[in-house]
Chain A
Amino acid sequence: MSTLVAASAGNVLVWIVWVVAVFSCLGSGIAVITFSNPFYSALALIGNLGSLAVMYLLLSAEFVAAAQVLVYAGAVVVMFLFVIAYVGPRRETPWSGGPSWQTVGAVGAAGALLVEIVVAVGMQANGSLHSDGKVGAAFGTPAWVGRVFLIDHLLAFEITSVVLLIAAVGGVILGSHTRRTA
């Protein structure tokens, strides 16, 4: 009986954490696309990434959550903030008049995309997304991820490193001073 009470209390706690994470995730996502200053958009992206990391933890993906915080909040957003500071404060020119046909079409297209995803996933899942089942204690830990990554998916690991190298070289070429073609 006491274990049952403890389990339901834990369930309520997980639900509360989940609801808070979802609201902060979607709210900061909307903030990213509505702030007119890109600096604030980049700061809102940090909140989005943090709440996503909380959801990864609830899904027992500890290593991915840690990598998310390190790679995104630690590297990607900092790079964004540096470039925004370098480019300088450029506010977007406000829309003249009411919403243009482009905005209306964009909202319609995004809504259609959302409906399409929900319908496609719902039809494909066909109610099979309700099973639970416990995972082993090792699921999502760094040792387990390392084993899966370096034994089962070694080729993906190597290709990922090559992609990162090519991107770094491309970034240097794009940003180098010596290239004058203008």
Chain B
Amino acid sequence: MLGPDVAWYVAVAAVLFGIGALGVLIRRNTLVVLLSLELMLNAGNLALIALSRHWHNGSGQIFALAVMAVAASEVCVGLGLVVALNRRRLSLDVDTLSELRG
């Protein structure tokens, strides 16, 4: 295999996952939290594809495609929530959205 070992790809995936987790924890805008979630999902995808290449097994790539579909679903529902919040003139700050009632 030309280029770096699979271990390097997995390390990059771990760092990217850490960046995404940091974004989810420190940011307060709902939209940026969703974007950071995308970062974490993509880090998982990178690890899946790297290990799929390592084991010469296609299931990792199939799992990555399934993760992509789930990420699209998550964005669909999450952005629907953001639009609903905006229509009710609520704040998009995750710290103020603390009451779990209609």
A-side residues, CB < 8 A to B, are 7, 10-11, 14-15, 17-18, 22, 25-26, 29-30, 32-33, 38, 41-42, 45, 48-49, 52, 55-56, 58-61, 63-64, 67-68, 71-72, 75-76, 79-80, 83-84, 86-87, 90, 92-93, 102-103, 105-107, 109-111, 113-114, 117-118, 121, 125, 129-135, 139-140, 144-145, 148-149, 152-153, 156, 160, 163-164, 166-168, 170-175, 181-182
| Partner pick for B26 among A87, A106, A130, A163, CB 8 A cutoff | A106
Chain A neighbourhood of B54, CB < 8 A:
129, 131
| Partner pick for B42 among A41, A48, A84, CB 8 A cutoff | A48
Mind listing 20 A-B residue pairs with CB under 8 Å? A17-B3, A18-B3, A22-B12, A32-B35, A32-B39, A33-B32, A33-B35, A58-B3, A63-B61, A72-B42, A79-B79, A80-B35, A90-B92, A113-B18, A132-B5, A139-B56, A148-B62, A149-B62, A174-B80, A175-B83
Chain A neighbourhood of B23, CB < 8 A:
32-33
A145 & B62 in contact (Cβ 8 Å cutoff): yes
B19 & A26 in contact (Cβ 8 Å cutoff): yes
A76 & B72 in contact (Cβ 8 Å cutoff): yes
B83 & A174 in contact (Cβ 8 Å cutoff): yes
- List residues of B (2-16) whose CB comes within 8 Å of A's CBs: 2-12, 14-16
A75 & B18 in contact (Cβ 8 Å cutoff): no
B-side residues, CB < 8 A to A, are 1-12, 14-23, 25-29, 31-32, 34-36, 38-39, 42, 45-46, 49-50, 52-54, 56, 58-59, 61-62, 64-66, 68-77, 79-84, 86, 88, 92-93, 102
Given known contacts A18-B3, A129-B10, is B61 in contact with A38 (CB within 8 Å)? no
Given known contacts A14-B3, A22-B12, is B68 in contact with A110 (CB within 8 Å)? no
Interface majority SS (helix, strand, loop, mixed), chain B: helix
Q: Name which of A22, A67, A129, A182 has the most chain B CB atoms within 10 A of its CB.
A: A129
Question: How far, in whole Å, are A86 and B20 apart by their CA atoms in the complex?
Answer: 25
Chain A: which residue is nearest B3 at the CB level? Answer: A14
Chain B: which residue is nearest A118 at the CB level? Answer: B14
A30 & B59 in contact (Cβ 8 Å cutoff): no
Extra contacts, 8 of them, besides A61-B49, A79-B79, A181-B102 (Cβ < 8 A), are: A17-B3, A18-B3, A25-B16, A26-B15, A32-B19, A106-B22, A164-B69, A172-B80
Question: How far, in whole Å, are A29 and B88 apart by their CA atoms in the complex?
Answer: 31
Question: How far, in whole Å, are A25 and B72 apart by their CA atoms in the complex?
Answer: 20
A145 & B58 in contact (Cβ 8 Å cutoff): yes
